[in-house]
Amino acid sequence: MTDLVPPAGADVQVWDIEIMSEPFTLGSEDVDVALARLRAHAEQRAWDLVIGVTELPLRDVDGRYLLAAIDPRRQSAVLSLPALGGFRVGTRARHAVRGLVSGMAEPMMPEEQRLPLPGVSARGRVLLGMVLANRPWLLAAGLKSALVAALATGAVATIEPTVWLLAASLSGWRLAVATIVSIAIVITWIVIDGELWDRPEDDSAQARERSRLYNTSTLLTLTVGVVICYFGLYVVNLAWALFVLDPAVMGDSLGASFGYGDLFVLTWFVASVATIGGALGTGLESDDAIRAAAYSKREEDRRARLAGDST
Protein backbone atom coordinates (compact mmCIF):
# COMPACT_ATOMS: atom_id res chain seq x y z
CA MET A 1 0.00 0.00 0.00
CA THR A 2 1.37 3.41 -0.94
CA ASP A 3 0.22 6.98 -1.52
CA LEU A 4 0.12 8.71 -4.90
CA VAL A 5 0.51 12.48 -4.45
CA PRO A 6 -0.06 14.92 -7.36
CA PRO A 7 2.65 17.44 -8.34
CA ALA A 8 2.90 20.86 -6.68
CA GLY A 9 0.30 23.32 -7.94
CA ALA A 10 -2.25 20.64 -8.80
CA ASP A 11 -5.44 19.99 -6.91
CA VAL A 12 -4.47 18.05 -3.81
CA GLN A 13 -5.74 14.50 -4.02
CA VAL A 14 -4.10 11.57 -2.28
CA TRP A 15 -4.63 8.04 -3.53
CA ASP A 16 -4.06 4.83 -1.60
CA ILE A 17 -2.63 2.40 -4.14
CA GLU A 18 -2.91 -1.35 -3.62
CA ILE A 19 -1.00 -3.64 -5.99
CA MET A 20 -2.13 -7.24 -6.34
CA SER A 21 -0.78 -9.99 -8.59
CA GLU A 22 -2.71 -13.18 -9.27
CA PRO A 23 -3.55 -15.50 -12.20
CA PHE A 24 -6.04 -13.59 -14.30
CA THR A 25 -5.67 -14.89 -17.81
CA LEU A 26 -8.29 -17.32 -19.06
CA GLY A 27 -10.64 -15.50 -21.41
CA SER A 28 -9.16 -12.12 -20.54
CA GLU A 29 -8.06 -11.46 -24.13
CA ASP A 30 -11.72 -10.49 -24.55
CA VAL A 31 -11.92 -6.86 -23.43
CA ASP A 32 -15.43 -7.03 -21.97
CA VAL A 33 -14.56 -10.15 -19.96
CA ALA A 34 -11.39 -8.51 -18.64
CA LEU A 35 -13.22 -5.34 -17.56
CA ALA A 36 -16.02 -7.31 -15.91
CA ARG A 37 -13.55 -9.40 -13.93
CA LEU A 38 -11.62 -6.36 -12.82
CA ARG A 39 -14.76 -4.63 -11.64
CA ALA A 40 -15.79 -7.76 -9.72
CA HIS A 41 -12.45 -7.65 -7.89
CA ALA A 42 -12.97 -3.95 -7.15
CA GLU A 43 -16.41 -4.55 -5.70
CA GLN A 44 -15.14 -7.36 -3.49
CA ARG A 45 -12.40 -5.16 -2.07
CA ALA A 46 -14.28 -1.84 -2.04
CA TRP A 47 -11.85 -0.19 -4.46
CA ASP A 48 -12.89 3.09 -6.05
CA LEU A 49 -10.87 2.51 -9.21
CA VAL A 50 -9.14 -0.56 -10.67
CA ILE A 51 -6.59 -0.93 -13.49
CA GLY A 52 -5.55 -4.36 -14.70
CA VAL A 53 -2.15 -4.86 -16.34
CA THR A 54 -1.76 -8.04 -18.38
CA GLU A 55 0.98 -9.66 -20.46
CA LEU A 56 -1.66 -10.93 -22.88
CA PRO A 57 -2.78 -9.14 -26.07
CA LEU A 58 -6.16 -7.40 -26.20
CA ARG A 59 -8.45 -7.13 -29.22
CA ASP A 60 -11.86 -5.55 -29.65
CA VAL A 61 -14.82 -6.97 -31.57
CA ASP A 62 -13.58 -5.32 -34.77
CA GLY A 63 -10.30 -7.24 -34.56
CA ARG A 64 -8.16 -4.21 -33.69
CA TYR A 65 -5.28 -4.67 -31.28
CA LEU A 66 -5.66 -2.46 -28.24
CA LEU A 67 -3.28 -0.67 -25.94
CA ALA A 68 -6.01 -0.29 -23.32
CA ALA A 69 -9.74 -0.28 -22.73
CA ILE A 70 -11.52 1.99 -20.27
CA ASP A 71 -14.92 1.82 -18.64
CA PRO A 72 -15.08 5.12 -16.69
CA ARG A 73 -18.67 4.52 -15.61
CA ARG A 74 -17.48 1.53 -13.59
CA GLN A 75 -14.06 3.09 -12.91
CA SER A 76 -12.13 0.18 -14.44
CA ALA A 77 -9.51 -0.14 -17.17
CA VAL A 78 -7.20 -2.81 -18.56
CA LEU A 79 -3.74 -2.25 -20.09
CA SER A 80 -1.94 -4.69 -22.43
CA LEU A 81 1.82 -4.79 -21.85
CA PRO A 82 2.66 -6.40 -25.24
CA ALA A 83 1.07 -3.39 -26.94
CA LEU A 84 3.80 -1.23 -25.42
CA GLY A 85 6.27 -2.86 -27.81
CA GLY A 86 8.65 -4.64 -25.46
CA PHE A 87 11.24 -1.89 -24.90
CA ARG A 88 11.27 0.32 -21.77
CA VAL A 89 8.07 -1.44 -20.74
CA GLY A 90 8.29 -0.42 -17.09
CA THR A 91 8.56 3.29 -17.87
CA ARG A 92 5.89 3.16 -20.56
CA ALA A 93 3.55 1.18 -18.32
CA ARG A 94 3.87 3.74 -15.51
CA HIS A 95 3.05 6.57 -17.90
CA ALA A 96 0.13 4.61 -19.34
CA VAL A 97 -1.32 3.85 -15.88
CA ARG A 98 -1.10 7.51 -14.89
CA GLY A 99 -2.86 8.42 -18.12
CA LEU A 100 -5.62 5.90 -17.45
CA VAL A 101 -6.14 7.24 -13.93
CA SER A 102 -6.34 10.80 -15.27
CA GLY A 103 -8.66 9.74 -18.06
CA MET A 104 -11.14 8.07 -15.76
CA ALA A 105 -11.18 11.19 -13.62
CA GLU A 106 -12.42 13.28 -16.57
CA PRO A 107 -16.11 14.06 -16.04
CA MET A 108 -16.86 14.40 -19.78
CA MET A 109 -15.26 11.10 -20.79
CA PRO A 110 -17.59 8.76 -22.77
CA GLU A 111 -18.94 5.66 -21.07
CA GLU A 112 -16.50 3.28 -22.74
CA GLN A 113 -13.31 3.92 -24.61
CA ARG A 114 -10.97 1.71 -26.64
CA LEU A 115 -7.39 2.79 -27.36
CA PRO A 116 -6.36 0.93 -30.56
CA LEU A 117 -2.81 0.61 -31.85
CA PRO A 118 -1.85 1.99 -35.30
CA GLY A 119 -3.19 -0.33 -38.00
CA VAL A 120 -0.19 -1.53 -40.02
CA SER A 121 2.33 -1.92 -37.20
CA ALA A 122 -0.09 -3.08 -34.49
CA ARG A 123 0.39 -6.84 -34.92
CA GLY A 124 4.16 -6.57 -35.15
CA ARG A 125 4.30 -4.40 -32.06
CA VAL A 126 2.16 -6.84 -30.08
CA LEU A 127 4.26 -9.78 -31.29
CA LEU A 128 7.46 -8.05 -30.23
CA GLY A 129 6.01 -7.39 -26.80
CA MET A 130 4.87 -11.01 -26.43
CA VAL A 131 8.25 -12.42 -27.48
CA LEU A 132 10.22 -10.16 -25.15
CA ALA A 133 7.79 -10.93 -22.30
CA ASN A 134 8.66 -14.62 -22.82
CA ARG A 135 12.37 -13.79 -22.24
CA PRO A 136 13.80 -16.11 -24.92
CA TRP A 137 17.36 -15.50 -23.69
CA LEU A 138 16.53 -17.61 -20.61
CA LEU A 139 15.43 -20.65 -22.65
CA ALA A 140 18.62 -22.64 -22.13
CA ALA A 141 18.65 -22.00 -18.38
CA GLY A 142 15.12 -23.38 -18.15
CA LEU A 143 15.94 -26.56 -20.09
CA LYS A 144 18.83 -27.87 -18.00
CA SER A 145 18.71 -31.43 -19.31
CA ALA A 146 18.85 -30.17 -22.88
CA LEU A 147 21.78 -27.90 -22.04
CA VAL A 148 23.73 -30.74 -20.41
CA ALA A 149 23.03 -33.03 -23.40
CA ALA A 150 24.18 -30.35 -25.85
CA LEU A 151 27.40 -29.63 -23.94
CA ALA A 152 28.19 -33.33 -23.59
CA THR A 153 27.52 -33.96 -27.28
CA GLY A 154 29.75 -31.06 -28.26
CA ALA A 155 32.59 -32.13 -25.96
CA VAL A 156 32.63 -35.67 -27.35
CA ALA A 157 32.21 -34.65 -30.99
CA THR A 158 35.08 -32.15 -30.78
CA ILE A 159 37.67 -34.88 -30.10
CA GLU A 160 36.26 -37.40 -32.61
CA PRO A 161 38.48 -37.82 -35.74
CA THR A 162 35.48 -38.79 -37.87
CA VAL A 163 33.89 -35.45 -37.03
CA TRP A 164 37.14 -33.71 -38.03
CA LEU A 165 36.93 -35.33 -41.46
CA LEU A 166 33.26 -34.47 -41.90
CA ALA A 167 33.80 -30.84 -40.93
CA ALA A 168 36.77 -30.51 -43.28
CA SER A 169 34.81 -31.97 -46.19
CA LEU A 170 31.81 -29.62 -45.87
CA SER A 171 31.60 -26.42 -47.88
CA GLY A 172 30.37 -23.17 -46.37
CA TRP A 173 26.85 -23.51 -47.73
CA ARG A 174 26.55 -27.06 -46.39
CA LEU A 175 27.63 -25.88 -42.96
CA ALA A 176 25.03 -23.09 -43.17
CA VAL A 177 22.34 -25.62 -44.10
CA ALA A 178 23.42 -27.82 -41.19
CA THR A 179 23.01 -24.83 -38.88
CA ILE A 180 19.51 -24.02 -40.14
CA VAL A 181 18.37 -27.65 -40.08
CA SER A 182 19.68 -28.26 -36.56
CA ILE A 183 17.91 -25.16 -35.24
CA ALA A 184 14.69 -26.13 -37.03
CA ILE A 185 14.85 -29.66 -35.59
CA VAL A 186 15.21 -28.33 -32.04
CA ILE A 187 12.32 -25.88 -32.44
CA THR A 188 10.06 -28.53 -33.95
CA TRP A 189 10.93 -31.05 -31.27
CA ILE A 190 10.29 -28.60 -28.42
CA VAL A 191 6.92 -27.60 -29.87
CA ILE A 192 5.87 -31.24 -30.30
CA ASP A 193 7.32 -32.60 -27.07
CA GLY A 194 6.03 -29.72 -24.96
CA GLU A 195 2.66 -29.55 -26.75
CA LEU A 196 3.15 -25.84 -27.33
CA TRP A 197 1.02 -25.50 -30.47
CA ASP A 198 -2.08 -23.43 -29.71
CA ARG A 199 -5.35 -24.53 -31.29
CA PRO A 200 -8.42 -22.32 -31.78
CA GLU A 201 -11.06 -22.64 -29.09
CA ASP A 202 -13.76 -22.49 -31.77
CA ASP A 203 -14.19 -21.79 -35.50
CA SER A 204 -14.56 -18.02 -35.15
CA ALA A 205 -12.20 -15.67 -36.99
CA GLN A 206 -11.11 -14.16 -33.68
CA ALA A 207 -10.17 -17.53 -32.22
CA ARG A 208 -8.18 -18.46 -35.32
CA GLU A 209 -6.34 -15.12 -35.33
CA ARG A 210 -5.62 -15.49 -31.62
CA SER A 211 -4.09 -18.93 -32.20
CA ARG A 212 -2.02 -17.62 -35.11
CA LEU A 213 -0.73 -14.82 -32.89
CA TYR A 214 0.22 -17.15 -30.04
CA ASN A 215 1.80 -19.71 -32.37
CA THR A 216 3.82 -17.03 -34.14
CA SER A 217 5.05 -15.67 -30.81
CA THR A 218 5.95 -19.22 -29.74
CA LEU A 219 7.99 -19.86 -32.89
CA LEU A 220 9.73 -16.48 -32.64
CA THR A 221 10.49 -17.00 -28.95
CA LEU A 222 11.96 -20.44 -29.58
CA THR A 223 13.89 -19.26 -32.64
CA VAL A 224 15.52 -16.42 -30.73
CA GLY A 225 16.21 -18.66 -27.75
CA VAL A 226 17.68 -21.52 -29.78
CA VAL A 227 19.84 -19.18 -31.89
CA ILE A 228 21.23 -17.68 -28.67
CA CYS A 229 21.92 -21.22 -27.41
CA TYR A 230 23.59 -22.09 -30.72
CA PHE A 231 26.05 -19.21 -30.48
CA GLY A 232 26.65 -20.04 -26.82
CA LEU A 233 27.49 -23.62 -27.77
CA TYR A 234 29.80 -22.36 -30.50
CA VAL A 235 31.77 -20.23 -28.04
CA VAL A 236 32.02 -23.02 -25.45
CA ASN A 237 33.02 -25.64 -28.03
CA LEU A 238 35.56 -23.29 -29.60
CA ALA A 239 37.20 -22.72 -26.22
CA TRP A 240 37.23 -26.49 -25.66
CA ALA A 241 38.71 -27.17 -29.10
CA LEU A 242 41.45 -24.56 -28.68
CA PHE A 243 42.30 -26.08 -25.30
CA VAL A 244 42.45 -29.79 -26.18
CA LEU A 245 43.29 -29.94 -29.91
CA ASP A 246 46.56 -29.33 -31.71
CA PRO A 247 46.08 -28.75 -35.47
CA ALA A 248 49.46 -30.33 -36.20
CA VAL A 249 48.51 -33.54 -34.38
CA MET A 250 45.14 -33.56 -36.14
CA GLY A 251 46.88 -33.22 -39.51
CA ASP A 252 49.27 -36.08 -38.76
CA SER A 253 46.38 -38.28 -37.65
CA LEU A 254 44.34 -37.65 -40.77
CA GLY A 255 47.18 -37.22 -43.25
CA ALA A 256 46.03 -33.71 -44.16
CA SER A 257 47.07 -30.15 -43.49
CA PHE A 258 45.25 -28.57 -40.54
CA GLY A 259 45.56 -25.09 -39.07
CA TYR A 260 43.89 -23.10 -36.30
CA GLY A 261 41.42 -21.73 -38.85
CA ASP A 262 40.11 -25.27 -39.30
CA LEU A 263 39.20 -25.35 -35.62
CA PHE A 264 36.68 -22.57 -36.23
CA VAL A 265 35.11 -24.62 -39.03
CA LEU A 266 35.14 -27.74 -36.87
CA THR A 267 33.43 -25.85 -34.04
CA TRP A 268 30.77 -24.60 -36.45
CA PHE A 269 29.88 -28.16 -37.41
CA VAL A 270 30.09 -29.39 -33.82
CA ALA A 271 27.70 -26.63 -32.69
CA SER A 272 25.09 -28.02 -35.12
CA VAL A 273 25.64 -31.57 -33.88
CA ALA A 274 25.46 -30.43 -30.24
CA THR A 275 22.24 -28.51 -30.93
CA ILE A 276 20.57 -31.69 -32.15
CA GLY A 277 21.90 -33.46 -29.06
CA GLY A 278 20.21 -30.78 -26.99
CA ALA A 279 16.93 -31.53 -28.73
CA LEU A 280 17.16 -35.11 -27.52
CA GLY A 281 17.82 -33.77 -24.04
CA THR A 282 14.51 -31.94 -23.98
CA GLY A 283 12.86 -35.36 -23.93
CA LEU A 284 14.01 -35.65 -20.33
CA GLU A 285 12.16 -32.47 -19.37
CA SER A 286 8.55 -32.41 -18.21
CA ASP A 287 5.93 -30.56 -20.24
CA ASP A 288 5.60 -28.06 -17.39
CA ALA A 289 9.35 -27.38 -17.44
CA ILE A 290 9.28 -26.78 -21.20
CA ARG A 291 6.35 -24.36 -20.92
CA ALA A 292 8.03 -22.55 -18.02
CA ALA A 293 11.20 -22.15 -20.11
CA ALA A 294 9.37 -20.97 -23.22
CA TYR A 295 6.74 -18.61 -21.83
CA SER A 296 6.17 -15.75 -19.46
CA LYS A 297 4.38 -16.61 -16.22
CA ARG A 298 1.03 -15.22 -17.41
CA GLU A 299 1.19 -17.07 -20.73
CA GLU A 300 2.22 -20.24 -18.92
CA ASP A 301 -0.79 -19.89 -16.60
CA ARG A 302 -3.08 -19.26 -19.56
CA ARG A 303 -2.00 -22.42 -21.36
CA ALA A 304 -2.18 -24.52 -18.19
CA ARG A 305 -5.76 -23.37 -17.57
CA LEU A 306 -6.78 -24.03 -21.14
CA ALA A 307 -5.26 -27.51 -20.94
CA GLY A 308 -7.14 -28.12 -17.70
CA ASP A 309 -10.44 -27.03 -19.22
CA SER A 310 -9.99 -29.35 -22.21
CA THR A 311 -9.56 -32.45 -20.00
> How far apart are alpha carbons 299 and 195 in whole angstroms?
14
Query: Which range among 94-98, 99-103, 181-185 shows the weakest confidence by mean pLDDT?
Result: 99-103
Looking at residue 299, what is its pLDDT? 60
The whole-angstrom separation of Cα 129 and Cα 139 is 17
Angle between helices 119-133 and 205-244 (to 10 degrees): 50
How many Å apart are CA 262 and CA 257, to the nearest integer?
A: 9
Q: What pLDDT, on the 0 to 100 scale, is given for residue 245?
A: 85
pLDDT higher than 90, residue 14:
no
Q: Which residue has the higher pLDDT, 214 or 31?
A: 214
Averaged over 195-219, what is the pLDDT? 83
The dihedrals phi and psi of 249, each to the nearest 5 degrees, come to -65, -40
DSSP structural state of residue 256: S
What is the model's pTM? 0.78
If you average pLDDT over residues 196-214, what whole number do you get? 81
182: confidence class by pLDDT, cuts 50, 70, 90 = very high
Average pLDDT score over the chain: 79
Question: Sorting pLDDT into bands at 50, 70 and 90, what band is 228?
Answer: very high
> 105-112 long-range contacts, Cβ below 8 Å, gap at least 24?
106/72, 109/70, 109/72, 110/72, 111/71, 111/72, 111/73, 112/69, 112/70, 112/71, 112/72, 112/73
Q: Assess whether pLDDT exceeds 60 at residue 52.
A: yes
CB atoms within 10 A of CB 112: 14
Q: What is d(CA 257, CA 118) in angstroms, rounded to the nearest whole number?
A: 59
For residues 114 and 58, give the distance between their C-alpha atoms in angstroms, rounded to a whole number.
Answer: 10
